Amino acid sequence: MSISLPVDIHSIKGFLAAHEGEALYHLAAEASGSGACLEVGSYCGKSTIYMATACKLMNGLLYAVDHHRGSEEHQRGEEYHDPDLYDEGARLMDSFRTFRRNIRAANLEDWVVPIVASSAVAARYWNTPLSLVFIDGGHSREAAITDYRCWARHIVPGGYLAIHDIFPDPNDGGQAPYEIYKLALASAQFELVEMVDTLGILRRV
């Protein structure tokens, strides 16, 4: 299945490599035929556009969970702070306006349900089975484990769990995504399908 995206994906702010985005597209195209997809950590919508474009093709739906206040590394004075996404009036980082603009420009508003909340809040009364969960939220240990515990249990048998920024070597990057990747495998509920760059794709058995 060839990829045809509705916008210039390279113009969208984000940290997802092209090969990883293409893998998410194909994964969402397969999974959305069996139920809803969900991502944690939308930022400005790069991963959302990859996944929702596939959902649109399959008449599926993507829930996009993000509080849009940024992770630790996005705050003022931190390595990945972007002043264009800082709300001077509120004195807070806010990526939601940019996210909405990008999703509208991609004509994907009917296939994306933004949930502006943390994982813990969004998942509190969640009951919808999910065919795909993509975790790319906060990279602190607490945030990553919370994301995993909130959403992995809602994945249907045969559904997928995708985790971004997996670095087995601590010299290459933070360890929190790798920790939840190991937790998923140790649970015996998930098996590894493939690794695409730093994107781990697992299937619920």
- Do the domain assignments include residue 7? no
- Do the domain assignments include residue 28? no
pLDDT at 64: 98
Question: How many residues would you count in the chain?
Answer: 205
pLDDT at 1: 52
- Do the domain assignments include residue 56? yes
* Model confidence pLDDT, tens digit, residues 3-60: 999 999 999 999 999 999 999 999 999 999 999 999 999 999 999 999 999 999 999 9
Question: How many structural domains comprise the chain?
Answer: 1
- Alpha carbon distance 196, 198 (integer Å): 6
Instruction: At 44, list the tokens.
Output: 């400005």
- Alpha carbon distance 52, 59 (integer Å): 10
Residue ranges in 13-161 assigned as alpha helix (H): 18-31, 46-57, 96-105, 119-122, 141-151
Enumerate residue ranges in the chain where pLDDT < 50: none
pLDDT at 113: 98
Q: What is the CATH number of the domain that holds 187?
A: 3.40.50.150
- Residues belonging to the active site: 139
Sequence-distant (6+) residues with CB within 8 A of 75 are 81, 93
